[in-house]
A and B are shown apart, each in its own frame.
Chain A
């Protein structure tokens, strides 16, 4: 080993050479901030355990993994009930958000407004959902269990359909509330897992969601509601402007709406 090694005590930069540099190239610390690293020279024998031995390393790793695993299991299981409860409240508040409601007490507001959690059969008729309240409408949708919530807002019937899709970086989801004619949008709610803040993330904002109100979903037996590239919406009755600068997320919202609503067609077209 011809070259010695010097380590900057400020930033940890390691310099190789016969002597320490005049100045640290990384943090600019002066020469005396460097200390030489003893290379090739055995560290003085420590009292007690040799922390470099194989046995010590393996035991250390095993003990660490066991401690961390127990710690995580303990934290996770002791908080599980609270977390599940929070997820249920959050799902309910998202459903209510599609009705343009943001109540402080979600649980009681949900019971007031949402009258039934239906499942759609293949012919478009509705049966009552006998299972407990679900918090993952993606797996429900994939399992062929198509939920429709029936709500009552000031005496008017609304139908809420949960939706799931893909944005640019990850999952996007939402709820669309329709009037009793099963075709006019009453309100929507979108959220996302990891879209870019300020771009795709804008689908979760009120100004974007307001653009859907009053649009037509079904016309001549087809799903016509769609999201276009920003500034290109021509037919104001059923087209919605996407988010400027977030073309892929907007396309994701569009395909989420068309895919999901296509599956609900028997219900939407039934009188």
Chain B
């Protein structure tokens, strides 16, 4: 088995869940119009993937093979529900902001993918690292896409105006926000560009 160090590094770059495994694309389209929700979503997925990986890894020897997907789903759904309930009670503002994404976390294919492919065969510690690594790999792509989309689509980053107001056509300047950037298709195009760069840098991933 690969060393722990590699378990956490591989999914961030060489085996990135979004650009190599092509998992979690749907949420990458939905939450990357602005940088802030992208960061929050990336962190939430990292935490939930790591936790559910550990739980499934602890249970892996007892889970009946025929209902393993159901068991994984129940664990993920229960974890997400508990986290959401705790947020509602102790950090209501955050839970309001996250309301849309909580559901998206349960359906995120990265979670089920990692549980099935990794946590079912590996020790809790390695699974924890794998969960964190995959979560970070996912968060990294989300943040890159959201950075570009918010900067060129809204002229801002994290809500702070970056492109000077005086440049805008409405204020007598020459600049216009790119409306296509905040549309979902642009996220797909940007992910495509990232995959292109990523493949170009990693020759072993190129299909002959």
Residue numbers of A with Cβ under 8 A of B are: 9-12, 23, 25-28, 51-52, 56-57, 60-61, 64-65, 68, 71-72, 75-76, 79, 82-83, 86-87, 89-90, 193-194, 196-199, 244-245
For A245, give the chain B residue with the smallest CB separation. Answer: B179
Whole-angstrom distance between the Cβ of B149 and the nearest chain A Cβ: 8
B21 CB-CB contact with A under 8 Å: yes
**Which of chain B's residues have a CB closer than 8 A to the CB of A194?**
99-100
Q: Which of B1-39 contact A (CB under 8 A)?
A: 1-2, 10, 14-15, 20-21, 30-31, 33-34, 37
A79: contacting residue among B33, B85, B204, CB under 8 A: B85
Given A65-B74, A86-B92, do A76 and B85 touch, yes or no (CB 8 Å)? yes
Query: From DSSP, what is the main secondary structure of chain B's interface residues?
Result: helix
Q: How far, in angstroms, from A61 to B66 measured CA to CA in the complex?
A: 11
**Which of chain A's residues have a CB closer than 8 A to the CB of B118?**
12
> Which residue, of B70, B89, B154, has the highest number of chain A Cβ atoms within 10 A?
B89
Q: Are B10 and A60 neighbours in the complex by a CB distance under 8 Å?
A: no
Q: How far, in angstroms, from A143 to B71 measured CA to CA in the complex?
A: 41
**Which of chain A's residues have a CB closer than 8 A to the CB of B82?**
71-72, 75
Q: How far, in angstroms, from A89 to B93 measured CA to CA in the complex?
A: 11
B37: contacting residue among A52, A89, A197, CB under 8 A: A197
Q: How far, in angstroms, from A10 to B17 measured CA to CA in the complex?
A: 12
Q: Are A198 and B10 neighbours in the complex by a CB distance under 8 Å?
A: no
**Which of chain A's residues have a CB closer than 8 A to the CB of B158?**
none
B15: contacting residue among A27, A90, A245, CB under 8 A: A27
B78 CB-CB contact with A under 8 Å: yes
Number of residues in B with C-beta < 8 Å to the partner?
50
Q: Which of B38-84 contact A (CB under 8 A)?
A: 61-67, 70-71, 74, 78, 81-82
B90 CB-CB contact with A under 8 Å: yes
B117 CB-CB contact with A under 8 Å: yes
The 25 sampled A-B contact pairs (Cβ below 8 Å) are A10-B2, A10-B10, A10-B15, A11-B15, A11-B21, A11-B117, A12-B113, A26-B21, A27-B15, A27-B20, A28-B15, A28-B204, A60-B62, A61-B64, A65-B74, A72-B82, A75-B81, A75-B86, A79-B85, A82-B90, A83-B85, A194-B99, A198-B33, A199-B183, A245-B179
A57: contacting residue among B64, B85, B90, B202, CB under 8 A: B64
B89: contacting residue among A9, A28, A83, A199, CB under 8 A: A83
Given A197-B31, A199-B33, do A12 and B116 touch, yes or no (CB 8 Å)? yes
B162-173 interface code vs A (CB 8 A; 1 in, 0 out): 000000000000
For A89, give the chain B residue with the smallest CB separation. Answer: B92
B88 CB-CB contact with A under 8 Å: yes
Q: Are A28 and B85 neighbours in the complex by a CB distance under 8 Å?
A: no
Q: Are B65 and A51 neighbours in the complex by a CB distance under 8 Å?
A: yes
B124 CB-CB contact with A under 8 Å: no
Q: Are A90 and B33 neighbours in the complex by a CB distance under 8 Å?
A: no
**Which of chain A's residues have a CB closer than 8 A to the CB of B111?**
none
B189 CB-CB contact with A under 8 Å: no
Q: How far, in angstroms, from A61 to B118 measured CA to CA in the complex?
A: 22
Whole-angstrom distance between the Cβ of B9 and the nearest chain A Cβ: 12
B207: contacting residue among A10, A12, A25, A197, CB under 8 A: A25
For B82, give the chain A residue with the smallest CB separation. Answer: A75
B200 CB-CB contact with A under 8 Å: no
A82: contacting residue among B78, B89, B205, CB under 8 A: B89
**Which of chain A's residues have a CB closer than 8 A to the CB of B90?**
82
Given A10-B10, A28-B14, A193-B99, do A60 and B31 touch, yes or no (CB 8 Å)? no
**Which of chain B's residues have a CB closer than 8 A to the CB of A23?**
204
Whole-angstrom distance between the Cβ of A263 and the nearest chain B Cβ: 27
Q: How far, in angstroms, from A221 to B17 measured CA to CA in the complex?
A: 60
